[in-house]
Amino acid sequence: MRKCVFATIATLGWFASPVSIATDLATFHRALLQGDVRTALQAYDGTSTDDLPDKDVAAATCIRERFAAPLDRQSGTLGPMVNAYRQYWRALMLNSVSTEAAEAELFKRLTAALPSGPWQTEDAPGVTRAVRAELEARGYHAVTGVTKPYYELIVWEQERPADYVVRLPTEDLTVHVVFMDRFISGGWLDYASCGRFGVGGWAANDVLYAAAPRYDTDTEQFRVNYLAHEGQHAADLRRYPGLDQAELEYRAKLVEIIYASKPYELLARFATTAQPGRAVPHAHAQYWLARRLGNAAREPRDRDAIRAAARALLTESADNARSATESGTNRFLPD
């Protein structure tokens, strides 16, 4: 994994200097984003904690304690379903069983936790849909299915709606945002990282969902990294239906670069967790963004040059996305 980090930063050239974190810390972050807890802790053990951010030290301590102790079980009526997912995540994040065995055990436990009914099937999507339906019948909101590379479970209790006008490079878009709060399960990434990372939101059916605890709406993190990013997803899902997730992330991250106050630092941060491979769409998108934008924007720390290069790549990717969806391939990035 470390070879990929070196290669990506070398491609960026003059972007390497703003990256002040240790290479092993970058590997720690990247492994967590891929749900590989064993590799993350091995990487963290190779760093000196003297100069590390407090939030990384706290996260590593929590992760080590969480995965060394017995399963931290959810109590109450939702316990059997939530605990089935946690046990599945732990097994794969520690690489203690095969994917097939972990998934078989997950669906066995979920089937036992669900009330009997016509949904019962050995089909995995059918089981996850039944989990979501059962949670919603009990008054909760939920996301199930797959967030690569794992089966996902996000459950929350409260929602608050709001409307925003999002300025995108090619249009202004009015979006409806649902702020989610009081999470019971924050998803596999939140679980793997003890909250250091997690799903900030997503776009679905012309609605944007945002994890309220992760955002201050007066900050650039919300306006650019969430609202512009997810707004671009909403626009692309309308314009290029079926476009693969890595391609959607590539375009949305270009929009972040265009509007970021410090685009060179954002690009450098993307580079540290970049890695090719569609199993992790965000990392795959960041890998190709870093390579192409690093080659296109030659002036060090020139914000206008970086933004212009990002705009050019966004325009190019629009043509590629149109051709891909019309031809039925739905991909334009190399695998």
Residues in contact with 51: Cβ distance below 8 Å, sequence separation at least 6, in sequence order = 22
Average pLDDT over residues 218-246: 96
- For the range 212-219, what are the long-range contacts, defined as Cβ-Cβ under 8 Å and sequence gap of 24 or more? 212/160, 212/179, 212/180, 212/181, 213/181, 213/183
pLDDT in tens, 242-274: 999 999 999 999 999 999 999 989 998 898 889
Q: Could you give phi then psi for residue 76, rounded to 5 degrees?
A: 85, -170
Residue 22 — pLDDT band, cuts 50, 70, 90?
very low
Q: In whole angstroms, give the CA distance from residue 190 to residue 194.
A: 6
Question: Model-level pTM?
Answer: 0.86
pLDDT in tens, 311-335: 999 999 999 999 999 999 999 999 9
b or e along 142-181 (b: 16 or more beta carbons within 10 Å of the residue's beta carbon)? bbbeebbebbbbbbbeeeeeeeeebebbeeebebebbbbe
Tally DSSP H helices, then E strands, for the chain. Answer: 14, 7
Residue 302 — pLDDT band, cuts 50, 70, 90?
confident
The residue type of 7 is A
205 C-beta neighbours (distance < 10 Å), count? 7
pLDDT of residue 19: 33
Encoded tokens for 125: 């999507």
- Inter-axis angle of helices 245-259 and 303-327, to 10 degrees? 160
86 C-beta neighbours (distance < 10 Å), count? 20
pLDDT in tens, 137-186: 999 999 999 998 999 999 999 999 999 999 999 999 999 999 999 999 99
Classify strands 172-186 and 207-211 as parallel, antiparallel or unpaired.
Answer: parallel
For the chain, what are the domain ranges? Answer: 2-68+240-327, 79-220
334 C-beta neighbours (distance < 10 Å), count? 9
Q: In whole angstroms, give the CA distance from residue 36 to residue 47.
A: 17
Q: Could you give phi then psi for residue 21, rounded to 5 degrees?
A: -75, 150
| Measured CA distances, 274 to 3, 8, 218 (Å) | 11, 7, 28
pLDDT of residue 202: 95
The residue assigned the tokens 């990002």 is 310
